[in-house]
Amino acid sequence: MENTKWSCICKTVVGDTHLRKGTPNQDAEQWATLSGEVAVSVLAISDGHGSERCTRSHIGSKIATEVAVDLLGKFCQSIHTRGIELKDPKDSASPAVLQNSIKLGIRRELVPAIIQAWSRRVLEDLQKNPIEFELSPEEKFLPYGATLIAVALSKNFGVFLQLGDGDILVVEEDNTVVHLFQEEGAKIGDETNSLCQKDPAKLFQTEYQVYSPKLNSIQGSDPECVEVQASTPKNVPQKKFAPKTILVSTDGYSNAFSSDESFRKSASDFSQMLSTEQGQAEVQRSLETWLREYSSFSGDDVTLGLLYRHDSENAVEQQNLPANNQPVI
């Protein structure tokens, strides 16, 4: 299990409604595998709003995925350094201190850095190509409005970020499907939180998970604390297995299903397929066709990313790496 790796398949298709209106795909996707001290796979997807005044949301979503993959990747690689700096072998509280440091780092460093980088790139684009209609100062980012979902996974931990609509489904080792941020993210109609809103940092939802070398996952805990915590009933965290597959999607995907049950079933089905080389090949081969079928029901652009774990003995080397997705670090 030491050679646990994550692979990714990700595609996006323009929505049926957008095809009829002649508008571009406003979703974007980007992923990278970063080597180094900590090997990390990072995936980001974004849904540009596409409403009347969000005329450049396809650019906003592309910028969002680029800065998220870059900065989330760098942040994850810094986690190792944080561990060395903070860990005092004599202090039994160190793992908790490390956990808190990382959680605080996500909210206080990573999220603001993503927003800052996105805003800077948007302003650069605006300077090069001034907008064709009047905007009040507080609306300057509106034409580029977009959501963001980003996931980073190593063999030891996972970082999850979400701003606005879209979904993250985590398929656990026992095939149960967990819908991350479901309650907080539930919205009615087509309004969503967005990078273009005032103070979007407070609208981000974040999660940090630690995976043990045995692939047992203790959410928000450290693998070295498992036994200590297990012997302290008040502090026993809920044990669960590490994820097998993580599905991330823009809302054009979930809106295609007749029910939440049908939607969640798709994550189990994908996970099942991705557990074999034959299934991985079929997903690679058929994903675009399936996405077009989903889009014919939701009418919207559909972006779907699948991160799946495989171990060295049945590893699929980087055959799944899309040609246009190169590591950014």
Angstrom distance (rounded) from CA 47 to CA 55? 13
Q: Does 50 bind another protein (CB under 8 A)?
A: yes
Q: Does 165 bind another protein (CB under 8 A)?
A: yes
Total residues at interface with another protein (CB under 8 A): 51
Q: Does 305 bind another protein (CB under 8 A)?
A: no
Number of Cβ atoms within 10 Å of the Cβ of 167: 22
Q: Helices 111-128 and 57-86 sit at what angle, rounded to 10 degrees?
A: 150
Tokens standing for 320?
């799944």
Which one among 22, 89, 189, 233 touches another protein, defined by CB under 8 A? 189
For residue 208, which of 107, 113, 93 has the smallest C-alpha distance? 107
Q: Does 167 bind another protein (CB under 8 A)?
A: no
Which residue lies nearer to another protein by CB, 119 or 147?
Answer: 147
Q: Does 298 bind another protein (CB under 8 A)?
A: yes
| Binders in 256-295 for another protein, by CB under 8 A | 256-263, 265-266, 269-270, 273, 282, 286, 290, 293-294
* 3-class SS of residue 59: helix
**CB 15 → another protein: shortest distance, Å?**
9
Q: Helices 277-298 and 260-274 sit at what angle, rounded to 10 degrees?
A: 160
Which one among 51, 116, 129, 312 touches another protein, defined by CB under 8 A? 51
Q: Does 241 bind another protein (CB under 8 A)?
A: no
**CB 256 → another protein: shortest distance, Å?**
5
Task: Give backbone dihedrals phi and psi of 99, rounded to 5 degrees, phi first.
Answer: -55, -50
* 3-class SS of residue 208: strand
Query: Strand pairing partners for 4?
Result: none
Binding span for another protein by CB under 8 A among 14-22, 77-85, 226-234, 236-244: 14-22
